[in-house]
Amino acid sequence: MIVQNIEAIRKHEGLRLVAYLDSVGVWTIGYGDTGPDVVKGLTITKAQAEERLRKRLREFEGYVNRTVKVKLTQNQFDALVSLVY
């Protein structure tokens, strides 16, 4: 199963093209993406933010697909992936 409602994640996270410290002090960029490559001063394009989002969603979809052993509706699946994201 793959996430269908990406727009909800985009809307919830918002788009920031310059790295910023989030509310818990973690460097963040794009649509709420974090990681060792997100550092102070990093700037990306909207296209790069979109690619980062899709890459992370694929990763988290895999986690949910491997871990959850009950049948989920699409909305339930999307919500779980969004929580992991």
pTM of the entire predicted model: 0.84
Question: Which residue bears the tokens 């992991």?
Answer: 84
Say which of 22, 37, 51, 59 is annotated catalytic.
Answer: 22
∠ CA 3-6-57, rounded to 5°: 55
pLDDT confidence of residue 2:
85
pLDDT tens figures, 35-77: 999 999 999 999 999 999 999 999 999 999 999 999 999 999 9
Give the helix ranges, DSSP H, for 1-85.
6-13, 46-67, 74-84
d(CA 1, CA 16): 28
Is 13 a known active-site residue? yes
pLDDT confidence of residue 53:
96
Is 37 a known active-site residue? no
Residue 84 predicted with pLDDT over 90: no
Question: Which residue bears the tokens 């649509």?
Answer: 31
Say which of 7, 13, 51, 78 is annotated catalytic.
Answer: 13
Whether the CA torsion 35, 41, 42, 44 is positive or negative: it is: positive
pLDDT tens figures, 6-35: 998 899 899 999 999 999 999 999 999 999
48: which 2 tokens? 């790069």
Could you tell me the pLDDT band of residue 83, with boundaries at 50, 70 and 90? confident
